[in-house]
Structure 1
């Protein structure tokens, strides 16, 4: 007997048809698009751009314009990613803004929460430097009657 090299003959109408994988191409495209989108969002967040931008020069400029604070009341630092706000104390040599309304306007325009502002208002000279963090920002401040309130607001990484 000779070995059989082919299987039994089956009529074509009896062969089982394999289902087409019509879902495969859209699934691959979806996975690739999701990966690219995830990388772009992750890059924007880690670079401090886009979604979690923190403090920017543009935001500081808008606040200064809206509040009309004098130049002695603030200092822009770290290429526009931080700002120092200063109020004038009792010492005649102290610099800082004497316009307390412009100071509070700046805090509001820069997005400092009311709870943080209240903590700032309650700080005494003997409390030392205090700090608070919210969203993507951090503020640290101190107060002394002679030198006024000194606040630094910066982005958090």
Structure 2
């Protein structure tokens, strides 16, 4: 008798590859089809609770093979730009940036 084993989703695999399991600021949801990344900001206010470094977010994006155009857009986003979006393969990214809150990214896969 063969047993079915569930494979980790693309997002779950990226979290694991970047050693972010259990980090509250790398939150998986929707049965592994959504990942929210909360970066640490430069501000010292109570509004920012994120702890991820840019390098940790970049690790996830690289594992997901994000195109250069999307990472370039993320790097150029200003707080005045509001939420931005990008898509590649079966991944959609939504992000915003503010100096006090850092880069916050929501990734979804279909």
TM-score band, normalised by the shorter chain?
A: 0.7 to 0.9
Greater shift, 69-78 or 108-117, is seen at: 69-78
Verify: 1:83 aligned to 2:42, yes or no.
no
Match runs of 1:17-28 below 5 Å = none
Q: Give the unaligned 5+ runs of structure 1.
A: 1-55
Verify: 1:138 aligned to 2:89, yes or no.
no
**Equivalence for 1:105:** 59
| Alpha-carbon distance change, 110 to 97 in structure 1, aligned in 2, over 3 angstroms | farther
Count of residues paired in the alignment:
101
SS in 2 for 1:71: coil
Match runs of 1:4-153 below 5 Å = 57-69=8-20, 71-89=23-41, 90-93=43-46, 94-153=48-107
| Alpha-carbon distance change, 60 to 134 in structure 1, aligned in 2, over 3 angstroms | closer
Q: TM-score, normalised by structure 2?
A: 0.79
More strand by share: 2
Distance in 2, matches of 1:88 and 1:72, equals 12
Question: Are the aligned partners of 1:82 and 1:153 in contact in 2 as well (CA < 8 Å)?
Answer: yes
Q: CA RMSD in A?
A: 2.0
Q: Give the unaligned 5+ runs of structure 2.
A: 1-6
Once the two structures are superposed, what CA deviation does each residue of 1:26-73 show, in whole Å capped at 9, x if it has no partner?
Answer: xxxxxxxxxxxxxxxxxxxxxxxxxxxxxx843223222221237133
